Amino acid sequence: MIRRPKGRMKSTFVLSLLALFFQPAFAQARFNGAKAYEYAKSFAAIGPRWPTGPGHVKAEAFIRSHFKQDQLEEDTFTANTTIGPVALHNFIVRFPGKKDGIIVLSTHYETNYPLRDINFVGANDGAATTGLLMAIADQLRGKKLDGYSVWLVFFDGEEAFEHWSASDSTYGSRHLAAKWGGDGTLGKIKAFILADMIGDKDLDIQRETNSTGWLVDLVRQAAKKLGDERYFFQTDEPVEDDHLPFVKRGVPSIDIIDLDYGPNNSYHHTAQDTMDKVSARSLSIVGDVFLETIRLINQR
């Protein structure tokens, strides 16, 4: 048996008590990745969520129910898609802050219309990030934020209805960027952060080259502080995604995305995109980095 010196045990115990007593009130709680995973699992259990389908209606109801106690706005509009006019629904959840300005955290929640016949549930591609934002909301709810207001945006119509192009994709984000450009909201946004496909067990988030440089640096700084820098920005790649309508309008924006999903990206947009491929740990890593990035933006 190895004995610990009594004096050392006593001093360690005293130091531990002092550390607990003097722990700063602003110490940040770690993100609950397990809770985010459970939200994602429930959302994916709805099944395919392609616009005009029954699962899409259930997905809308799921979001409304989850945020019924919050400041929830439903942004309903008709998109002129390649299959004709389609009613789409963005959801915006507002958590007010003390500083004048807005940080937007966003995702898309629907699944791919062309894949409507293969039971594509989009566990990583839509459900994981929906669960991520829902769990972030749990940590924002019920208090006046010290920094900027945080708005959570759930975009509809990110996926193409036929073939991806500038006009057949990102319907919800293009609509909302234009709407906010018209009413002055864009000028109040300090940072726009998009999450897409970040539940992968083998987490490897690329540096998206259209993203704003200082936001990339802040995310990298947050990841390094948390000891998670190996999961971020080891490679560079341009990605067309829901951040581009905001980038084009001069809003500081970043896309946090892991496009390498499965061996040789073999799970992306297939029936294999199921919850067994999603990791609560990956959600924890990204959630912690998001919360730390918010703190760093508030310090700028």
The CATH number of the domain where 161 resides is what? 3.40.630.10
Would you write out the chain's pLDDT as a tens digit for each of its 300 residues?
A: 333 333 333 333 433 434 333 333 334 568 999 999 999 999 999 999 999 999 999 999 999 999 999 999 999 999 999 999 999 999 999 999 999 999 999 999 999 999 999 999 999 999 999 999 999 999 999 989 999 999 999 999 999 999 999 999 999 999 999 999 999 999 999 999 999 999 999 999 999 999 999 999 999 999 999 999 999 999 999 999 999 999 999 999 999 999 999 999 999 999 999 999 999 999 999 999 999 999 999 999
User: Considering the domain boundaries, does residue 199 fall inside one?
Assistant: yes
Ramachandran area for residue 73 (φ above 0: left; ψ -120 to 50: alpha; else beta)? beta
Q: Can you tell me the distance from the alpha carbon of 216 to that of 112, in angstroms, rounded to the nearest whole number?
A: 28
Residue type, 30: R
Give the contacts of 39 (CB within 8 A, at least 6 positions apart).
Answer: 66, 130, 131, 134, 135
User: Considering the domain boundaries, does residue 294 fall inside one?
Assistant: yes
User: Considering the domain boundaries, does residue 15 fall inside one?
Assistant: no
User: Considering the domain boundaries, does residue 41 fall inside one?
Assistant: yes
Whole-prediction pTM: 0.90
* Domain coverage including residue 67: 27-299
Q: Can you tell me the distance from the alpha carbon of 133 to that of 36, in angstroms, rounded to the nearest whole number?
A: 8
What is the gyration radius of the CA atoms in the chain, in angstroms? 20
The answer to whether the beta carbons of residues 193 and 290 sit under 8 Å apart is yes
Give the contacts of 169 (CB within 8 A, at least 6 positions apart).
Answer: 158, 159, 160, 240
Q: Can you tell me the distance from the alpha carbon of 267 to that of 202, in angstroms, rounded to the nearest whole number?
A: 12
User: Considering the domain boundaries, does residue 246 fall inside one?
Assistant: yes
Number of domains in the chain: 1
User: Considering the domain boundaries, does residue 4 fall inside one?
Assistant: no
The answer to whether the beta carbons of residues 123 and 283 sit under 8 Å apart is no
User: Considering the domain boundaries, does residue 211 fall inside one?
Assistant: yes
User: Considering the domain boundaries, does residue 90 fall inside one?
Assistant: yes
